[in-house]
């Protein structure tokens, strides 16, 4: 079982997303446990204050170190784990990707600290193992990144998804964007399903899907495409589509 502790000022944010679909089934199967800790519960202030003005002046408030330190210590004591990550969700962190999700799925315990206001006291960074961001944009707090990390990581745990094949074929799992998908009806408003998918020829279907995945990745995410190790067949498929030799 992989245990997540999410340290947040707004535990109510997570009511709903954690109790539907894949995450709900993962919890029911006993493969994932998700615990929410309200950082305010670890404040020594009678008003449960968790922020204060920054030393040196400046706009906004900074999250105090004491409640976060104590919340992390509490979470660490409740789970006996050799493989543990303590992650601060922060715009200064490394941008989250599928490789990170795979690495996190190997852990036994993940503590996610949701930042807020102008950030956290710098001393908090002495107790973290990683600092992660969702990208170069501003969010109100770390709750949305925490939810994204829990979802992306949980689905990689064996047994969480119904089919390992589904996992292998998803976008990013192989370094490629996923090929186009179709279902019934065969024709809708004059738009037809490609004939090859109706042929029953599994070799040709596989070839078509690989070709389209290559096309999509090259056209939509050239940054990902550059990282691919192309096979000789991949190069042949690209030449068929008129993309020329890709090295």
Domain positions in the chain: 2-156, 169-241
41 is in an annotated binding site: no
| Domain at 2-156, CATH homologous superfamily | SPOUT methyltransferase, trefoil knot domain (3.40.1280.10)
Query: Is 136 labelled as part of a ligand binding site?
Result: yes
What DSSP state is assigned to residue 125?
G
Answer yes or no: is 137 a known binding residue.
Answer: yes
| Per-residue 3-state assignment (H helix, E strand, C coil) for 11-43 | HHHHCCHHHCHHHHHHHHCCCEEEEEEEHHHHC
35-59, pLDDT tens digit by residue?
Answer: 999 999 999 888 899 999 999 988 8
User: The domain 169-241 is classified under which CATH number: 3.10.580.10, 1.10.760.10, 3.90.1150.10, 1.10.1270.20?
Assistant: 1.10.1270.20
Q: Does the annotation list 7 as a binding residue?
A: no
Measured distance CA(23)–CA(92) in Å, rounded: 28
Query: Coil, strand, or helix at residue 112?
Result: strand
Cut 0.75: pTM above it: yes
Q: What does the alpha-carbon distance between residue 154 and residue 1 come to, in Å, rounded to a whole number?
A: 10
**Which CA distances in Å does 181 have to 47, 165, 240?**
54, 15, 21
Q: Is 135 annotated as a binding residue?
A: yes
CA atoms within 13 A on the CB side of 193: 12
Per-residue pLDDT band for 81 (boundaries 50, 70, 90) equals confident
Annotated ligand binding at 139? The verdict is yes
> pLDDT (tens digit, 9 = 90+) per residue, 158-170?
999 976 656 655 6
């Amino acid at each position: 079982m992989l245990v997540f502790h999410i340290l947040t000022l707004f535990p109510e944010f997570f009511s709903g997303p954690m109790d539907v679909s894949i995450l709900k089934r993962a919890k029911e199967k006993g493969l994932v446990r998700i615990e929410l800790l309200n950082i305010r519960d670890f404040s020594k202030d009678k008003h449960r204050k968790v922020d204060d003005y920054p030393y040196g002046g400046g706009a906004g408030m900074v999250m105090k170190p004491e409640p976060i330190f104590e919340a992390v210590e509490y979470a660490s004591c409740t789970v006996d784990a050799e493989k543990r990550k303590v992650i601060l969700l922060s715009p200064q962190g490394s941008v989250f990707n599928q490789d990170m999700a795979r690495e996190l799925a190997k852990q036994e315990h993940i503590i996610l600290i949701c930042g807020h206001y102008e950030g956290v006291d710098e001393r908090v960074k002495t107790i973290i193992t990683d600092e992660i961001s969702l990208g170069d944009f501003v969010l109100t707090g770390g709750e949305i990144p925490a939810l994204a990390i829990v979802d992306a990581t949980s689905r990689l745990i064996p047994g969480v998804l119904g089919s390992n094949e589904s996992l292998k074929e998803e976008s990013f799992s192989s370094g490629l964007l996923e090929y186009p998908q179709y279902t019934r009806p065969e024709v809708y408003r004059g738009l037809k399903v490609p004939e090859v998918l109706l042929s029953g020829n599994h070799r040709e279907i596989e070839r078509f899907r690989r070709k389209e995945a290559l096309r999509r990745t090259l056209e939509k995410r050239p940054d990902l495409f550059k990282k691919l190790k192309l096979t000789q067949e991949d190069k042949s498929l690209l030449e068929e589509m008129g993309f020329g030799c890709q090295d």
